[in-house]
Structure 1
Amino acid sequence: MEDPSLLEDSSTLLDPNEVRRSTPLRLGFVAGVIGRERMSTFERMLWRVCRGNVFLRQADIEEPLEDPATGDHVHKSVFIIFFQGDQLKNRVKKICEGFRASLYPCPETSQERKEMAAGVNTRIDDLQMVLNQTEDHRQRVLQAAAKTVRVWFIKVRKMKAIYHTLNLCNIDVTQKCLIAEIWCPMSDLDSIQFALRRGTEKSGSTVPSILNRMQTQQTPPTYNKTNKFTSGFQSIVDMFNMVFAGRYIILLMGIFSVYTGIIYNDCFSKSFNVFGSGWSVRPMFGVGGNWTSKTLEDNRVLQLDPAVPKVFNGPYPIGIDPIWNIATNKLTFLNSFKMKMSIILGVIHMTFGVTLSLFNHLYFNKPLNIFLGFIPEIIFMVSLFGYLVLLIFYKWLAYDAENSKEAPSLLITFINMCLFSYNDPTNKPFYTGQIVIQCLLVIIAIACVPCMLIVKTLIMRRQYLWRRHLATQNFGGIRVGNGPTEDEAEIIQHDQLSQNVEEESPEFNFADVAVHQAIHTIEYCLGCISNTASYLRLWALSLAHAQLSEVLWSMVMHMGLASRNFGGFFALSIIFAFFATLTVFILLIMEGLSAFLHALRLHWVEFQNKFYTGQGFKFMPFTFDSILEGKFED
């Protein structure tokens, strides 16, 4: 924008006669720098305002200069303006001020300019020296501070956390003290009291800290005390941290894999004959046997008869007898055995989960859930599936290889137990009175359903109505000293009781409670069947693992071992490397991950749904570890 006063003054021309009278002619000048992008506009403004009575010379500064205000690098131009008279001098200075040009003093004589330039260079050198020394000093200070910045960081975080915690306390104005209500484990009360006493002594305070245990109806937070070993398992539950905490799971998986390998006597689809097989083929050629040399030539499938003396000498001490590895019905036998083992593990696992729910009911003091929840559930589980497990063990113990033909099928037995009949004459009962006992167990299991479904809901409604009835009763009171009168005490007691009942007993909705209880009962009863079937995943995984091992052995290692010449040694080395690679990637990694995921699902769904609800909130104690993680950063 142009200054109107400048335009008004510029309209008055100089008097030529007056110029002639002023002798000698003397020119003034100003010098400075201006932004390069403003130079053309600045020049036109000077020419227009001063009517061409000024002389401007400018040059661009090649190196960019740093703006001291913003720190940005800008390109500028240096200029010098010659003029005559104070009037033009004032106009030029106003224009320079309007364009934000920086003016610098410049002596008139050459000698003074040289001396000024020398002084400016000297000051520049001095300033550069000061800047270098300051930079060196700053580096030394920062290096010294870097050694203790971690300590400062921790101290600041701790101070912020302590003040943040103190702000949560209540201030008692009369007693001039802080009152804090906290949650803490009961096992740590003594250590907390000792820490308060030690803090009082170190601070030099004469007022001791008082710790009192309060009674409350609020639900406490969840706290699982762990050690160095169990913290890995708890971290999996809390955050599913499989990078570091998963090493415990991998270790236990490896140990359990070795255990199952010993039980099944299976190592890369091969069995170890450590204790000697309990079966022998020699008696089949002797007295009582029915084998001849012609039998071996004509028949590929030979059956050992355990009724022949000394053919069967007793079970293998640990695991499966190695003779089953060459039997044609190996898969049928191992499938039946692994299926039964899966059911046994599943029922024991689920029964243990139901038992854990008892500790929850005892901890939260809920006797109704014990008598009409835990007891019917455990009876239902044991009456059906616990009895099935007992039948499996009974069959293993009561029947051996010699009289196994008379043993009925477990599947047929279980179906007959559910259908209340034994119409198949080929299947004999295990023991006397089996039909009556099984029918009685089914009736008991069915009777547990209405206890969980109907009786519990009706009793919960009755308890709620009784508490409401107590809250509406009139209670008498007495007067103690200068306290309230009997009427006043009655009103106060009635109000307090009503308030406590409302806090402890929320509004009871019979329809919602009935629907919730029905869903829980149906889920549990049907879940006992479906969850037991889910544990057959262990059998399926074991079968798949065994078959993959056998395929890798027969299609890879068997080819190298079949070679009998010297070149077979080198071929076996290459084949073994190929076999080891496939074993690691397929059996250990792929199958191991699949087994872990299935085992994790069995633990989270089939096991934890018996007692785990996931309600409440986690206990977050005041620890310096959480401070260093940045919890109190904001």
Structure 2
Amino acid sequence: MGSLFRSEEMALCQLFLQSEAAYACVSELGELGLVQFRDLNPDVNAFQRKFVNEVRRCDEMERKLRYLEKEIKKDGIPMLDTGESPEAPQPREMIDLEATFEKLENELREVNQNAEALKRNFLELTELKHILRKTQVFFDEQEGGVNQTTESMTRALITDEARTAGASMGPVQLGYMEKSNEREDYLPCFVAGVILRERLPAFERMLWRACRGNVFLRQAMIETPLEDPTNGDQVHKSVFIIFFQGDQLKTRVKKICEGFRATLYPCPEAPADRREMAMGVMTRIEDLNTVLGQTQDHRHRVLVAAAKNLKNWFVKVRKIKAIYHTLNLFNLDVTQKCLIAECWVPLLDIETIQLALRRGTERSGSSVPPILNRMQTFENPPTYNRTNKFTKAFQALIDAYGVASYREMNPAPYTIITFPFLFAVMFGDLGHGAIMALFGLWMIRKEKGLAAQKTDNEIWNIFFGGRYIIFLMGVFSMYTGLIYNDIFSKSLNIFGSHWHLSYNKSTVMENKFLQLSPKGDYEGAPYPFGMDPIWQVAGANKIIFHNAYKMKISIIFGVIHMIFGVVMSWHNHTYFRNRISLLYEFIPQLIFLLLLFFYMVLLMFIKWIKFAATNKSKLLVPRHNGCCLMTPFSHLEPYNEACAPSILITFIDMVLFNTPKPHPEKCETYMFFGQHTIQVLFVLVAVGCIPVMLLAKPLLIMQARKQANVQPIAGATSDAEAGGMSNGGPHGGAGGHEEEEELSEIFIHQSIHTIEYVLGSVSHTASYLRLWALSLAHAQLAEVLWTMVLSIGLKQEGPVGGIVLTCVFAFWAILTVGILVLMEGLSAFLHTLRLHWVEFQSKFYKGQGYAFQPFSFDAIIENGAAAAEE
């Protein structure tokens, strides 16, 4: 848990492994996931490394597995996933895996090719069956004696020359005819085939134009869709038959059919031949159906057998590939018998890593133990914050802004409390918070089952990853909802009200502008918890009261939050022993913030405590004996509600050194004795902190360089020189030394930081007013939704009213969840994130490190599975 507050101490180690034991040792380290290897061959091409052939073999095996996976998903066969991760197989097992995958791929490809050929043959026979059935109608019409129609169709096919030459031929029969020695060019013939239905209109137009109207086309749709053997899609086709005369038209028609990818089939002219062919086609279709069924059963059995082991095969292949990729990062010594690696490891886990190396050596049968030596380095170690399933989401929020510098204070543990609390200040509603908390609690209770359901829905993955954040935001919103006494824009009357009416019922019902006086209508005792429920029904001054209350608490929380951020920088300066930053940055910053903005917070509390409507003051009246008599006067109340000063005006007068104007009602000008003197002193000291922050640190660094002439003295360096946030510091795993920063750059950086802090203190304080603005907007939106939607159903009576109320309630619930919970919740979440990233973390957090990315099989397999799904 200590690494959550500050990142783990890291060490750079050198690892010596025997060649025969390197594979097993790296496999054990991959299962452990605590070692980040460095590339010792950065200038070597990826194709020139030692284990490039093994990596290629793994790529080929992975390709075959993806092919099997695609075929399994195509058939809808479930793949067995036990959730267990098998160990990485030994190198000698790669041959068996390759042989298994090769056999499965070849067998499946052969089955697919045979099935495709059978389906193509089946499609051709099915199309021929439809041609024989559909064209039979045309020939039945001709054989039925419709000679007039036949004669007219024949005349349409004969040119003017043919009419003149063959006027004495009489009626012409459709179909293939006996060749005549005199006029064989003009004997009619036909072709039959099938074409895609969407191509038929264009096909018909092309025939008409290319053949100049000398063809006769008949077509009929095939009602049932046919399966395309290439891609398995269902396509709609039509049968057509084209009558024409002459070899020239025959060649032209066939070219057009080929251009439109129409399939032509032989169609006998004689009815007996057509019946005989149809019987043969049906027999062959039945035989093909039997063979196709057997082929599909065999394919299904192959895929079912492969589906049982596919997940484990993927894991094994990816582990082998990851191991050889890692081995390619190593160096070979001169004897070619030892592999040398460099890696970052957490200091606390060195013993665990050594045990893993020992297990790998024993598995490989090597007698030479591995050697793990710690190295001295000036490089910046990676940042490693050990997390669990609860803290992981909060750490991800911080890392999204920037990974912490090495051993820098980590904001994540404090964010666990401050993030949901500031969110709840904006989202405070008992009902809406309960909905959010129940949703988060449901995801927490069902997290094992939900985590097992792998999905690529990014929105759901974000919600599930932040389930603990959602639950805490809901719980804290329920608390602030109780404080605001707000549940779906209504209030809970738990303790009753401390306000009492002094008017009769008719006056209260008729006077819409009636206000209760705290002098006579309030008991004077504070409400036990939260707000008095009567404020929910106060029409005239409800918003005014909530405005003042929420605005002030937003400033109070904001100033406390920023002061806490400045105090966090003290931990960084003391840990890294940066004495100059501690004295001339932290202390002036804290004084500046306390004397101006925390003083403003104190004025708010003084105003709340000292000024009240029930306050009575006493006036000294001189008596005849020279003594004074304390006599109460109701008309002279210098600390009543009318005399309460504006905190904003008081703060502005304080900064501008203005004297407050006297109150016309004989009120006290100041809230306490010596206020003006204290305020002037505070402003002068705060302004005096600015040149200290601006000049002290650069001047001391310049003086230290002149004295040392080469190196700066300890503690008198800039963050970049001293390694401030970038080196291991006094407790880190690495020393730190970088090139000296130019003095001009130090002055510029310090000026930027000082101006950013001084101006940021004002803007950041104002930025916390978003707590007030969003809280007020959320409450008003909930009230509008209740008034304009749900109240419509509540006004109805009787059975019809129940139906209307049910419908209206459903609509109100949808709007409540969709707008007030989801959209308003997302808005409040983003504003809370900004308050932490900018207003809080800017006071102490650099975020200039890089994350620790260990060699871990779990991460590699998860990323590989995600990439495969995409």
Deviations 1:244-302 (A, max 9, x none): 32333332332232222111111222111101111222xx4xxxxxx679976995544
Give, as a single letter, the amino acid of the residue that structure 2 aligns with 1:233: F
Task: Give the superposition deviation at 1:379.
Answer: 2.2
Structure 1: runs of 5 or more not aligned:
1-71, 73-132, 285-290, 472-502
CA 364–209 in structure 1, closer or farther in 2 if over 3 Å, else same: farther
Partner of 1:6: none
Query: Are 1:387 and 2:599 counterparts?
Result: yes
Deviations 1:171-202 (A, max 9, x none): 55489654433212223233223323443444
Give, as a single letter, the amino acid of the residue that structure 1 aligns with 2:535: W
Partner of 2:370: 209
Deviations 1:40-68 (A, max 9, x none): xxxxxxxxxxxxxxxxxxxxxxxxxxxxx
| Equivalent position SS for 1:524 | helix
Task: Give the superposition deviation at 1:334.
Answer: 0.6
The answer to whether the 8 Å contact 1:235/1:245 transfers is no
The answer to whether the 8 Å contact 1:279/1:313 transfers is no
Partner of 2:531: 320
The answer to whether the 8 Å contact 1:343/1:535 transfers is yes
The answer to whether the 8 Å contact 1:193/1:211 transfers is yes
Partner of 2:720: none
Give, as a single letter, the amino acid of the residue that structure 2 aligns with 1:430: M
The answer to whether the 8 Å contact 2:569/2:843 transfers is yes
Deviates more, 1:228-237 or 1:519-528: 228-237
CA 296–208 in structure 1, closer or farther in 2 if over 3 Å, else same: closer
| Equivalent position SS for 1:354 | helix
Partner of 1:231: 392
CA 320–293 in structure 1, closer or farther in 2 if over 3 Å, else same: closer
Partner of 1:557: 790
Structure 2: runs of 5 or more not aligned:
1-229, 231-293, 402-460, 616-639, 713-735
Deviates more, 1:262-271 or 1:358-367: 358-367
Task: Give the superposition deviation at 1:561.
Answer: 3.0
Q: Which of 330, 350, 360 pairs up with 2:562?
A: 350
Partner of 2:824: 591
TM superposition score normalised by structure 2: 0.48
CA 315–564 in structure 1, closer or farther in 2 if over 3 Å, else same: farther
The answer to whether the 8 Å contact 1:361/1:370 transfers is yes
Task: Give the superposition deviation at 1:552.
Answer: 2.1
The answer to whether the 8 Å contact 1:236/1:242 transfers is no
The answer to whether the 8 Å contact 1:373/1:452 transfers is yes
Whose relative contact order is higher, 1 or 2, with alpha carbons under 8 Å and at least 6 apart? 2
Distance 2:749 2:353 in 1: 42
Distance 2:488 2:355 in 1: 59
Distance 1:578 1:359 in 2: 53
| Equivalent position SS for 1:256 | helix
Give, as a single letter, the amino acid of the residue that structure 2 aligns with 1:185: P
Distance 1:419 1:570 in 2: 64
Give, as a single letter, the amino acid of the residue that structure 1 aligns with 2:547: N
Partner of 1:183: 344
| Equivalent position SS for 1:180 | strand
Q: Which of 424, 431, 436 pairs up with 2:661?
A: 424
Distance 1:411 1:554 in 2: 35
Task: Give the superposition deviation at 1:620.
Answer: 0.6
The answer to whether the 8 Å contact 1:461/1:508 transfers is no
Q: Which of 123, 148, 151 pairs up with 2:312?
A: 151
Distance 2:298 2:808 in 1: 68
Distance 2:574 2:371 in 1: 31
Distance 2:357 2:473 in 1: 45
Deviations 1:291-346 (A, max 9, x none): 679976995544434444x8324121111111222332111111010001111222
CA 294–151 in structure 1, closer or farther in 2 if over 3 Å, else same: closer
Give, as a single letter, the amino acid of the residue that structure 1 aligns with 2:350: L
Task: Give the superposition deviation at 1:625.
Answer: 2.0
Distance 1:369 1:437 in 2: 28
Q: Which of 516, 522, 542 pairs up with 1:330?
A: 542
Distance 1:361 1:164 in 2: 41
The answer to whether the 8 Å contact 2:705/2:711 transfers is no
Partner of 1:433: 674
Distance 2:856 2:693 in 1: 44
CA 312–511 in structure 1, closer or farther in 2 if over 3 Å, else same: same
Partner of 1:456: 697
CA 430–506 in structure 1, closer or farther in 2 if over 3 Å, else same: same
Task: Give the superposition deviation at 1:218.
Answer: 1.9
Query: Are 1:264 and 2:477 counterparts?
Result: no
Deviations 1:525-563 (A, max 9, x none): 111111111111121111111212222222233333344
1:520-539 aligned within 5 A? 520-539=753-772
Q: Which of 598, 603, 628 pairs up with 2:836?
A: 603
Distance 1:591 1:293 in 2: 39
Partner of 2:287: none
TM superposition score normalised by structure 1: 0.65
RMSD after superposition: 3.6
The answer to whether the 8 Å contact 1:266/1:272 transfers is yes
Q: Name the count of aligned residue pairs.
A: 464
Partner of 2:380: 219
Distance 1:456 1:236 in 2: 33
Partner of 1:579: 812
Task: Give the superposition deviation at 1:141.
Answer: 7.4
Give, as a single letter, the amino acid of the residue that structure 2 aligns with 1:408: P
Distance 2:510 2:576 in 1: 73
1:116-515 aligned within 5 A? 147-173=308-334, 177-238=338-399, 242-281=462-501, 284=502, 300-308=512-520, 311-327=522-538, 328-403=540-615, 404-405=640-641, 406-426=643-663, 428-469=669-710, 504-515=737-748
Partner of 1:82: none
Give, as a single letter, the amino acid of the residue that structure 2 aligns with 1:506: E
| Equivalent position SS for 2:482 | helix
| Equivalent position SS for 2:344 | coil
Distance 1:554 1:220 in 2: 59
Give, as a single letter, the amino acid of the residue that structure 2 aligns with 1:311: Y
Distance 1:249 1:181 in 2: 38
Task: Give the superposition deviation at 1:448.
Answer: 1.9
The answer to whether the 8 Å contact 1:464/1:508 transfers is no
The answer to whether the 8 Å contact 1:353/1:610 transfers is yes
Give, as a single letter, the amino acid of the residue that structure 2 aligns with 1:518: S
Deviations 1:546-605 (A, max 9, x none): 212222222233333344556433333333233223322332222222222222222222
Distance 2:331 2:578 in 1: 34
| Equivalent position SS for 2:374 | coil
Partner of 1:489: none
Deviates more, 1:321-330 or 1:143-152: 143-152
Distance 2:392 2:299 in 1: 46
Distance 2:497 2:505 in 1: 23
The answer to whether the 8 Å contact 1:200/1:209 transfers is yes
Distance 1:292 1:521 in 2: 62
The answer to whether the 8 Å contact 2:793/2:804 transfers is yes
| Equivalent position SS for 1:181 | strand
| Equivalent position SS for 2:345 | coil
Task: Give the superposition deviation at 1:209.
Answer: 3.3
Give, as a single letter, the amino acid of the residue that structure 2 aligns with 1:584: V
| Equivalent position SS for 2:845 | coil
CA 185–386 in structure 1, closer or farther in 2 if over 3 Å, else same: farther
Task: Give the superposition deviation at 1:160.
Answer: 3.2
Distance 2:471 2:824 in 1: 15
Deviates more, 1:407-416 or 1:134-143: 134-143
CA 462–337 in structure 1, closer or farther in 2 if over 3 Å, else same: same
Deviates more, 1:362-371 or 1:527-536: 362-371
Give, as a single letter, the amino acid of the residue that structure 2 aligns with 1:276: G
